[in-house]
Amino acid sequence: MTEAYSFAYLDESTKRMIRRTLLKALAVPGYQVPFASREMPMPYGWGTGGVQVTAACLVPEDVLKVIDQGADDTTNAVSIRRFFQRTAGVAVTEHTTEASLIQTRHRIPEAPLKEGQILIYQVPIPEPLRFLEPRESETRKMHALEEYGLMHVKLYEDIARHGAIATSYGYPVKVEGRYVMDPSPIPKFDNPKLSGNPAIQLFGAGRESRIHALPPYTRVVNLDFEDHPFEPTKADAACDLCGATTSYLDEVIMDDAGGRMFCCSDTDFCATRRAAGHAGRLAPGGEAA
Amino acid sequence: MSALLQVEGLEKRYGARIGCTGVSFDLFPGEVLGIVGESGSGKSTLLACLAGHLAADSGQILYRGRDLGAMAEPERRVLARTEWAFVHQNPRDGLRMGVSAGANVGERLMAVGARHYGAIRAAAEDWLGRVEIDPGRIDDRPRAFSGGMQQRLQIARNLVTAPRLVLMDEPTGGLDVSVQARLLDLLRALVREMGLGVIIVTHDLAVARLLADRLMVMKDGRVIEAGLTDQVLDDPQAAYTQLLVSSVLQV
Amino acid sequence: MIRIENLSKSFTLHNQGGAVIEVLRGAALSVAPGECVALTGASGAGKSTLMRMIWGNYRAASGQILVGGLDVAQASPREIIALRRDRLGYVSQFLRVVPRVPTRRVVAEPLLALGMGEAEAIARAEGLLSTLNIPERLWSLSPTTFSGGEQQRVNIARGFAHPYPALLLDEPTASLDAVNREVVLGLIAAAKARGAALIGIFHDEAARARVADRAVDVTAFTPARAA
């Protein structure tokens, strides 16, 4: 740890301000609480909201995992992980089960979370009503008065245009029968994991200066129509590396001839399965070669 | 039958300038009240006060016996998307240009809890038919519609929840004459079928004559003359009304 | 059914130096059910003015206009609208309709306003149009494009669609051919037979003689013109 930094980079009064915001957000699940977002040593869009929430939550005993679209090894994930290694000196891991605090960009890990874990989402636009109502003053009023008809206008438009609800990420949800919330751009495949989750889920939007949260075991319902119910979707394939059929898959283009493969977006989940002997179609030495 | 709207001594000022003052009238279901006057006569201010878009400085507005001034905002907003309708002069102000015609009509239904896509779509198709828009265009955006179609779409979108009170601000302004006629015919039929109470602001006396049962003539924020539409137009009493009526071609 | 007492009317022209033109003074008239009274007098004597006052179109300066018990001179707009809906009909000289509305709907409109079902109202309207010899191919068109005589017949059909107990007729047989003139006179006779009180202006003297029980010369109510 470099002594020149405060623990986890942010000064103590900023962390206190963010913690107060977090308590309020947890007390009113799904409600967007404004906070005094700070300039961070990284550009907006790199998870400045998530980083501030992580900084406010970290304690020296924490074990930190950072993922970007499920992967521990992308630039964004590696940079943020190193940032906290350097400024907080906390232990880091790539294993979901070992982490006490996970910062994520646009995924919920495949391995079930447990009580005591904290999942921190990076959020670009926290306002689910923004798509159809540009006025902040008006969207706040709509939340206050539970005027959520507009959300269904968006879903209606999806069905009218595509024959089904085509919204495939950032799928809107209603929290504890009260606030409509944008779960950040996670694939709707992950939406069922939002509800009744034993872990604490915190959402930080740095540029928009908003934090919202789901306390453990919060009831989260996906908005839909009676005759077009919500359906979590994934690519209809198995992971070509570990053979998993139940995980969310990334499609990878292999060459100019249309060759492609599917692999788990959650790199830890995939690696753990391969270590346990599972193999997919393209795995080195795989049974299906 | 009891009054839908009772307005008593309504006044709205913009600083020292009068928006409208001393306005009193009542409106029953199935009635069309026309408000005529030149630009700046206060008719749009009055309509905005009635719609709750502007807060009146004094006076009272009772909607079905309840004082709007004393009503909490949430309740007013619920009324605004269920029992009231507001038809803007420019359909772009009253439509969501970014979503399809069907979604525009369905929005109020969804706002009051409709959650069956098929039923919402069926209602939207029905209403498009009623305002003479080909239901085959349900998935087109309003941008692809002509001005007259946009205005009819705006009306369908407003009437789908069967409101009681409809406020219209120059609904036929900017439309060519044959399109105006279709719209007037449509409005008259809807008023009769649905028992709507309508307040229509217009500067077009021909429109007022064909649509309104009663007329209020406004000038400088005040009601100059009020009464039966054809009586006000054929035997105007006030100097200003006489001037107004004589300034237009034969209506 | 209709009783007028001591009625007077003047127009104040504010935009012409406040000139006051007195057009009627001390008008009195009474029409019983089943009776037809013709208004006579030279052009400009005030026949149409009187008729428009009964219709509620012109305001009275003083006096009473009782139609079926309602004093039109004092009545509120809402009372006059109700009166026109179910008790007082008016066949004016000119057809004034929303353009584009089909003829059969124009004629059915008074019935629809009274709450009659669409099918029944349209059926009755079509019956009248056919009685008045409007060709069926025109029923779905707007009467705004019709000839003067056709428009007049559409107007008459509309005025007779509902059996009003009181009816005002302004030149109902003008611009009609002999056949249709007979049809209209028949309609008027039938209205009288069912007990309607009618007031008419007929320049057609033969027609007046056929249907009017008596004539009232409005010249008697015309104030001497102050020069």
Query: In this predicted model, what pLDDT tens digit does every residue of B182-208 receive, in sequence order?
Result: 788 888 888 888 899 999 999 889 889
Residues B148, B185, single domain; the answer is no
Q: Which of A30, A47, A49, A243 is catalytic?
A: A30
Say how far apart CA B205 and CA C110 lie, in whole Å.
23
Domain count across chain B? 2
Residues of chain C with Cβ-Cβ distance to B130 below 8 Å are none
Nearest-CA residue of chain A relative to B139?
Answer: A160
Reduced to 3 states, what is the DSSP secondary structure of residue A90?
A: coil
pTM for this model (two decimals): 0.85
Q: Closest partner residue to B185 among C52, C100, C113, by Cβ?
A: C100
| Phi-psi label, residue C128: left if phi above 0, alpha if psi -120 to 50, beta otherwise | alpha
Q: Residue B24 corresponds to which tokens in the numbers above?
A: 């009193």
Strand pairing class (B5-14; B165-169): unpaired
Residues A209, A256, single domain; the answer is no
pLDDT score for C103: 95
| ipTM for the assembly | 0.88
Q: Provide the pLDDT confidence category of residue B172 given band limits of 50, 70 and 90.
A: confident
**Average pLDDT of adjacent 10-residue blocks, chain A of 289 residues:** 79 97 98 96 90 97 97 94 95 97 97 97 95 90 93 94 92 97 96 98 96 98 96 93 95 92 96 95 63
Query: Does the pLDDT of residue B179 top 60, yes or no?
Result: yes
Whether B48 maps to a domain, the answer reads yes
Residues A212, A243, single domain; the answer is no
Domain count across chain A? 2
Q: Provide the pLDDT confidence category of residue C134 given band limits of 50, 70 and 90.
A: very high
Instruction: Answer whether A289 touches B (CB < 8 Å).
Output: no
Query: Does the pLDDT of residue B250 top 60, yes or no?
Result: no
| Phi-psi label, residue B20: left if phi above 0, alpha if psi -120 to 50, beta otherwise | beta
Q: Provide the pLDDT confidence category of residue B39 given band limits of 50, 70 and 90.
A: confident
Does residue A242 contact residue A274 with C-beta atoms inside 8 Å? yes
Whether B89 maps to a domain, the answer reads no
Give residue-wise pLDDT tens across range C166-209: 999 999 998 899 999 999 999 999 999 999 999 999 988 999 99
Whether A143 maps to a domain, the answer reads no
Whether A196 maps to a domain, the answer reads yes
Reduced to 3 states, what is the DSSP secondary structure of residue A3?
A: coil
Reduced to 3 states, what is the DSSP secondary structure of residue B184?
A: helix
Q: Name all chains with 3 or more CB-CB pairs below 8 Å to chain B.
A: A, C
Whether B51 maps to a domain, the answer reads yes
Structural domain boundaries of chain C?
A: 31-46+75-217
Give residue-wise pLDDT tens across range B131-140: 889 999 999 9
Residues A180, A277, single domain; the answer is no
Q: Residue C172 corresponds to which tokens in the numbers above?
A: 């109902």
Give start and end residues of each alpha helix (H) in chain B.
43-51, 73-82, 91-94, 101-111, 117-130, 147-159, 177-194, 205-211, 229-234, 239-246
Residues A62, A188, single domain; the answer is yes
Whether A24 maps to a domain, the answer reads yes
Instruction: Pick the last residue of a domain from B116, B133, B162.
Output: B162
Whether B88 maps to a domain, the answer reads no
Instruction: Pick the last residue of a domain from B114, B138, B162.
Output: B162
Whether A157 maps to a domain, the answer reads no
Nearest C-alpha neighbor of A59 from the set A116, A121, A105: A116
Instruction: Pick the last residue of a domain from A222, A242, A262.
Output: A222
Residue A189 belongs to domain spanning: 12-127+173-222
Residues B66, B3, single domain; the answer is yes
pLDDT score for B249: 59
Whether B191 maps to a domain, the answer reads yes
Residues B9, B63, single domain; the answer is yes
Residue B52 belongs to domain spanning: 1-83+165-251
Residues B148, B215, single domain; the answer is no
Residues A118, A248, single domain; the answer is no
Q: Name all chains with 3 or more CB-CB pairs below 8 Å to chain A.
A: B
Residues A114, A205, single domain; the answer is yes
Nearest-CA residue of chain C relative to B31?
Answer: C78
pLDDT exceeding 70 applies to what percent of chain C?
99
Question: Rounded to the nearest 10 degrees, how much is the dihedral formed by the CA atoms of A23, A191, B102, A131?
Answer: 40
Reduced to 3 states, what is the DSSP secondary structure of residue A95?
A: coil
Query: Does the pLDDT of residue C227 top 50, yes or no?
Result: no
CB contact under 8 A, B231 and C58: yes
| Phi-psi label, residue B166: left if phi above 0, alpha if psi -120 to 50, beta otherwise | beta
CATH number of residue A98's parent domain: 3.40.50.11310
Our answer to whether residue A57 is catalytic in this structure is: no
CB contact under 8 A, B192 and C112: yes
Phi and psi at residue B37, to the nearest 5°: 160, 165
Residues B101, B156, single domain; the answer is yes
Axis-axis angle for helices B101-111, A149-162 (nearest 10): 150
Residues A185, A63, single domain; the answer is yes
Give residue-wise pLDDT tens across range C35-85: 999 999 988 888 999 999 999 999 999 999 999 999 999 999 999 999 999
Nearest C-alpha neighbor of B8 from the set B27, B29, B35: B27
Query: How far B231 CA lies from chain C's nearest CA (Å)?
Result: 4
Nearest C-alpha neighbor of C216 from the set C2, C16, C61: C2
CB contact under 8 A, C14 and B178: no
Query: Does the pLDDT of residue C5 top 70, yes or no?
Result: yes
pLDDT exceeding 90 applies to what percent of chain C?
77
Q: What is the mean pLDDT of chain B?
A: 92
Residues of chain A with Cβ-Cβ distance to B111 below 8 Å are 147, 149-150
- Give every CB contact of residue A111 below 8 A, 6+ residues apart in sequence: A96, A97, A266, A268, A269, A272
Whether A118 maps to a domain, the answer reads yes
Residues B250, B192, single domain; the answer is yes
Instruction: Answer whether B177 touches C (CB < 8 Å).
Output: yes
Residues A239, A123, single domain; the answer is no
Residues B129, B177, single domain; the answer is no
Query: Does the pLDDT of residue C226 top 70, yes or no?
Result: no
Residues A32, A61, single domain; the answer is yes
Reduced to 3 states, what is the DSSP secondary structure of residue A232?
A: coil
Q: Which of A239, A243, A263, A280 is catalytic?
A: A239
Q: Closest partner residue to B231 among C59, C98, C101, by Cβ?
A: C59
- C-alpha pair distances (Å), C16 with each of B237, C20, C22: 13, 9, 15
Residues B181, B155, single domain; the answer is no
C31-46+75-217 maps to CATH 3.40.50.300: yes
Instruction: Answer whether C215 touches B (CB < 8 Å).
Output: no
Residues A91, A180, single domain; the answer is yes
Residues B74, B179, single domain; the answer is yes
Residues B152, B177, single domain; the answer is no
Q: Which of residues 101-130 of C touch B (CB under 8 A)?
A: 101, 112-113
Residues B56, B99, single domain; the answer is no
Neighbours of B72 (CB within 10 A): 8
Say how far apart CA B144 and CA B100 lie, in whole Å.
10
Cα–chain-centroid distance for residue C189? 15
